[in-house]
Structure 1
Amino acid sequence: MGETSLRKRGADGRSVQSNEPKSTNLQKEVGLVSGICIIVGTIIGSGIFISPKSVLSNTQAVGPCLIIWAVCGVLATLGALCYAELGTMITKSGGEYPYLMEAYGPIPAYLFSWTSLIVLKPTSFAIICLTFSEYVCTPFYAGCKPPEIVVKCLAAAAILLITIVNSLSVRLGSYVQNIFTAAKLVIVAIIIISGFVLLAQGNTKNFENSFEGADVSVGAISLAFYNGLWAYDGWNQLNYITEELRNPYRNLPLAIVIGIPLVTVCYILMNVSYFTVMTATELLQSQAVAVTFGDRVLYPASWVVPLFVAFSTIGAANGSCFTAGRLIFVAGREGHMLKVLSYISVRRLTPAPAIIFHAIIAIFYIIPGDINSLVNYFSFAAWLFYGMTILALVVMRFTRKELKRPIKVPVVVPILVTLISVFLVLAPIISSPAWEYLYCFLFILSGLIFYLLFVYYKFGWAQKISKPVTMYLQMLMEVVPPEEDPE
């Protein structure tokens, strides 16, 4: 046993190609540029090509629509800055999970991981890959809708490819993210520059009387925010890989301050560009806003739009996989998921079991015909946990004064974001109540059953089942526990 341990440590602790020792832990491979690309690449996915229609349908006018996009960007930036304080105060990967653990204890942290790992993360991953698949398939089925089986098989193939890339190497996953972020910025630049040209040519008619007929009721504004923030989802993703970020005290806040405002400016300018060629009515009637824009402006080169939208979505899927794997890794390390999910590949030094687990669940979510409605109802749960996490920042100002805070935001910022989170959680339920919200809440609470059975009481029969499974998977995947938990 001792000999096996030493051999494992040797294979795991040193790289064959390097004389420098590497511990069996996640390596600090993500720099500032890669950090910005993860933020930009994860946020800019399919949202900006879908949400403009939803935001406009709620506000009913161009002026409030553009204001909503700007305010959503400000809210995402403020939220991310609160996360920057949390991320530099508690330098563990896993995003909200370690912060909820430190502030409230294991039960809220477990419920967050339960909801995120089983529903929020994999369904988001699946929908992004389905969107990618539809854009890729559409040119091959001109004049008709692509067969569902083809779309789903291609989406499953995309999930498998992204999983393999992220399981092989952290650096390779970062490189893929950088490449696709560059590609998606190309289509963003094409749309924005085309819009500027059209504005310079005097296409400003659709901006006249831009507040006429606007719906500014609380329900309409809240739903518009909901759809706008869906496009900004991913603003917190860098906190999922804090342990792999080089010089996090500098690079985490810097990546946030550069990345999210860059996305905000791009989103506002893209919406302005859309309105230079489409009236509000035409935009609402469009099946795919960016494609309609390309058909009207780029003429013979309009095929560029669906191609680069596909690049955009696959880049967002890669960023989602990269960060979700770290959440599962941390939950496994804390004993809230199977222990093997916290193991690290001996050869690759990646959280391969966690990434593969995430992919398997995502593939299951591809099977149903339409899961968009499911994700919409579970989105309010995401803001419930965002609000709890940012409130944790205020709580720990009093309960954990001894923790070092290299970055410290004014206390009014987390209080403001928490209040907005409460509004975002309650407003959709009040404005359009549905049983699905109750089902979602009950599903979150059902995590308590698993917590009591497998985490709190740790029944012997569960341990007897999990130990041989863990041992078999460890040998099959060549993975070992991390040498030590990060400080």
Structure 2
Amino acid sequence: MEEKSVRKRREDDQSIQSNEAKTTNLQKQVGLISGICIIVGTVIGSGIFVSPKSVLSNVNAVGPCLIIWSTCGIVATLGALCFAELGTMITKSGGEYPYLMEAFGPIPAYLFSWTSLIVTKPSSFAIICLSFAEYVAVPFYGNCKPPQLVVKCLAAAVIMVITTVNSLSVKLGSYVQNFFTAAKLVIVAIIIISGIVLLAQGKTKNFENSFEDASISVGSISLAFYNGLWAYDGWNQLNYITEELENPYRNLPLAIIIGIPLVTVFYVLMNISYFTVMTSTELLQSQAVAVTFGDRVLYPASWIVPLFVAFSTIGAANGTCFTAGRLVYVAGREGHMLKMLSYISVKRLTPAPAIIFYGIIAILYIIPGDINTLINYFSFASWFFYGLTVVGLIVMRFTKKDRKRPIKVPVFIPILVTFISIYLVLAPIITNPELPYLYCVLFVLSGLLFYLLFVHNKFSWVQKISKPITMHLQMLMEVVPPEEDLN
């Protein structure tokens, strides 16, 4: 009896010590395979299946088109290597946010979070879910276009499901990401293998004189790069969850080195496959390139393509939600958003308030009509912040020489990425100046007003209003500030 009593007391002591050690920090639950899946699953969305014609339309020839796709992959890899150095030097979640904070201080970091959280991230999430909804709804309406109300309601439902999954568990969100990444790799493999078989059978006619009638100019190349790099967007997503990566010094760079070149190879081979069955003119006339490919090559099993494109789209949406929620969380933790958004679920150890806030903003973007135009004009703002972040890397080589750098890329790489970013920001504005670019700049700068009112000055009346609301929401959602002991 005494032995049992002593053993039970030891077990109780161990349990207490375990509970004491467990705090409400984000847990390191994302391994190498999940990290690769997040990169591949977020980058490969609906774009490569639906409209690679956006690149072709600017260069008008097969040869330059394939070169653009390859070069975009190289640019994305170089940018990701710069972010790998930043991510292993500053092991905080939130992507560009903590790097801009360390390099330039709070104002550039706040402007990044302001632009990302209010427009670019949630509206991208909304567009991905709308694309998924359209693919799912089309078969039920035959040759008719599905009603917008049905598409929007279905997209909102998908956002709520994905938000719930990622709020409940980090591991569950990772499992969902892994499953849908595997599903999209199946259709990628089917398209690539089909293309290789057709090439082996001698279907090479569309590659003859592949540079003939090409439209090459500074403006056309910049716009082609713009569209190509949009398809690669997401190459920096792993930096948003650095705090949840197992062994980030090893897994962050390794996932980048494996994931992005893998995507590049997939993109180039898929474009080659498309051109084996479609001429440039036919590809430009196609509404959904992968579906047209499936109708011509996989018939009567062509239904596989829309199904797996839907899987691919929802996988990209899940990856976007998984990573962008962490940006909201870090901004809240730094006091640049509502403090409540930095709280962590006591039971689930997930940044649930941040993820839910992100989902609500995304649903609001579904209500208006087409927001693709808005995203196109804001993509240049994204590259502005990419470039500024890489400049921050160069600056910190001088201002923070003593910081530990497990990875240190050759200095010519960040310099090259900086010049590429400047080119991508300025070229579209110079070649095709339009007022929406000005509106975008004004919106970004309007963040300074909110920074002065709610972050820098911290008016007492704002705190008086937010404190009781925060307290009630905290009890309702069972969340606490990070690093607070569970006991």
After TM superposition, is the score higher than 0.5?
yes
Which shows bigger deviation, 41-50 or 254-263?
41-50
Cα offset, 1:369, TM superposition: 1.1
Question: 1:360 corresponds to which residue?
Answer: 360
Q: CA deviation at 1:15?
A: 9.4
Q: Partners of 1:402 and 1:457 in 2: how far apart?
A: 33
CA distance, structure 2, for counterparts of residue 347 and residue 270 of structure 1: 43
1:467 aligns with 2:456: no
Q: C-alpha displacement at 1:120, in angstroms?
A: 0.4
After TM superposition, the structure 1 = structure 2 runs for residues 125-274 of structure 1, keeping only pairs within 5 Å, are 125-274=125-274
- RMSD value, Cα: 1.4
Residues 47 and 232, structure 1, Cα contact 8 Å, conserved in 2 = no
Cα distance in 1, alignment partners of residues 293 and 141 from structure 2: 20
The code of the aligned residue for 2:291 comes to: V
Residue identity (%): 82
Deviations 1:350-380 (A, max 9, x none): 0000000000000000011100001111110
The 2-side partners of 1:30 and 1:182 are apart by: 17
The residue identity in structure 1 corresponding to 2:166 is: N
**Does residue 311 of structure 1 match 2:300?**
no
Paired position in structure 2 for 1:412 = 412
Q: TM-score, normalised by structure 1?
A: 0.95
Do the aligned partners of 1:51 and 1:227 also contact (CA within 8 Å) in 2? no
Q: CA deviation at 1:50?
A: 3.2
Match of 2:10 in 1: none
Q: What is the alpha-carbon distance in structure 2 between the residues aligned to residue 401 and residue 256 of structure 1? A: 25
SS in structure 1 opposite 2:300?
helix
Distance across 2 between alignment mates of 1:390 and 1:189: 34
Tell me if the contact between 2:61 and 2:210 (Cα under 8 Å) persists in the aligned partners. Answer: yes
Matches within 5 A, 1:17-166: 21-166=21-166
Contact 1:137 1:151 (8 Å CA) reproduced: yes
Q: Which stretches in structure 1 are left out of the alignment for 5+ residues?
A: 1-13
| Change beyond 3 A, Cα 1:214–1:316 | same
CA contact (8 A) 1:112 1:385 kept: yes
Q: How many Å apart are 1:21 and its aligned residue?
A: 4.1
Q: Distance in 2 between matches of 1:314 and 1:20?
A: 38
Query: What is the Cα deviation at residue 469 of structure 1?
Result: 1.4
How far residue 216 of structure 1 moved from its aligned partner, in angstroms, is 1.0
Tell me the distance in 2 between the aligned counterparts of 1:22 and 1:54: 50
TM-score by length of 2: 0.95
Are the aligned partners of 1:390 and 1:414 in contact in 2 as well (CA < 8 Å)?
A: yes
Structure 1 residue identity aligned to 2:333: R
AA aligned to 2:194 is S
Q: What is the CA distance between 1:465 and its match in structure 2? A: 1.1
Contact 1:131 1:313 in 2 (8 A): yes
- 8 Å CA contact retained: 1:15, 1:21: no
User: Post-superposition shift, 1:183?
Assistant: 0.2
Deviations 1:423-459 (A, max 9, x none): 0000111111110000000000000011000100101
Tell me the secondary structure at the aligned position of residue 28 of structure 1: coil
- 2:9 is matched with none
User: Where does 1:360-379 land on structure 2 (aligned, <5 Å)?
Assistant: 360-379=360-379
Q: Deviations over 1:321-370 (max 9, x none)?
A: 00000000000000000000000000000000000000000000001110
Deviation at 1:20, TM superposition (A): 8.7
Q: Would the aligned equivalents of 1:204 and 1:276 in 2 still touch at CA under 8 Å?
A: yes
Post-superposition offset of 1:22? 2.2
**Runs ≥4 residues deviating over 3 A:** 18-21
Q: Secondary structure at the match of 1:335?
A: coil
How many pairs are equivalent?
A: 471
Aligned partner letter, 2:345: S
1:211 is paired with a residue whose SS is coil
Would the aligned equivalents of 1:40 and 1:260 in 2 still touch at CA under 8 Å?
A: yes
The 2-side partners of 1:465 and 1:15 are apart by 40
Q: Aligned partners of 2:15, 2:81: CA distance in 1, in Å?
A: 36
Counterparts of 1:465 and 1:240, CA distance in 2 = 31
1:395 and 2:395 are equivalent in the alignment: yes
- Residue 221 of structure 1 and its aligned partner are, at CA, apart by 0.3
How far did residue 51 of structure 1 move? 3.8
Report how far residue 46 of structure 1 moved: 1.1
* In structure 2, distance between residues paired with 1:484 and 1:115: 30
Alignment match, 2:275: 275
Cα distance change, pair 400–137 in 1 and its aligned pair in 2 (3 A): same
Match of 2:3 in 1: none
Say if 1:162 and 1:321, in contact at 8 Å, map to a contact too: yes
8 A contact 2:51–2:288 mirrored in 1: no
| Contact 1:44/1:231, CA 8 A, preserved across alignment | yes
Counterpart residue identity of residue 33, structure 1 = I
Distance across 2 between alignment mates of 1:437 and 1:110: 20
- Describe how 1:418-429 pairs up with structure 2 within 5 A: 418-429=418-429
Instruction: List runs of 5+ in structure 2 lacking aligned partners.
Output: 1-13
- 1:147 deviates by 0.6
Note if contact 1:206-1:276 (Cα within 8 Å) is conserved in structure 2: yes
Report the CA distance between 1:233 and its aligned residue. Answer: 0.3
Q: What's the counterpart of residue 438 of structure 2?
A: 438
Q: Does 1:285 align with 2:285?
A: yes
Residue 19 (structure 1) shift: 7.0
Task: Report the alpha carbon displacement of residue 483 of structure 1 after superposing the two structures with TM.
Answer: 1.0
Distance in 1 (CA, whole Å) between partners of 2:351 and 2:460 is 27
Alignment of 1:320 onto 2:316: no
1:477 matched residue in structure 2: 477
Counterpart-to-counterpart distance in 2, 1:130 and 1:358:
16
Q: Which amino acid in the other structure matches residue 165 of structure 2?
A: V
Query: What's 1:450 paired with?
Result: 450
CA–CA distance in structure 2, aligned partners of residues 484 and 403 of structure 1: 28
Larger CA deviation: 276-285 vs 43-52: 43-52
The alpha-carbon distance between structure 1 residues 190 and 422, as it changes in their structure 2 partners (threshold 3 A), is same
Q: Is the 8 A contact 2:51 2:287 kept in 1?
A: no
Whether the aligned pair in 2 keeps the contact of 1:51 and 1:231 (CA below 8 Å) is: no
Q: Which amino acid aligns with 1:55?
A: V
Task: Give the distance between the partners of 1:236 and 1:107, measured in 2 at CA.
Answer: 21
- The answer (yes or no) to whether the contact 1:15–1:22 under 8 Å persists in 2 is no
Q: Deviations over 1:20-72 (max 9, x none)?
A: 94211000000000000000000000121234110000010000000000000
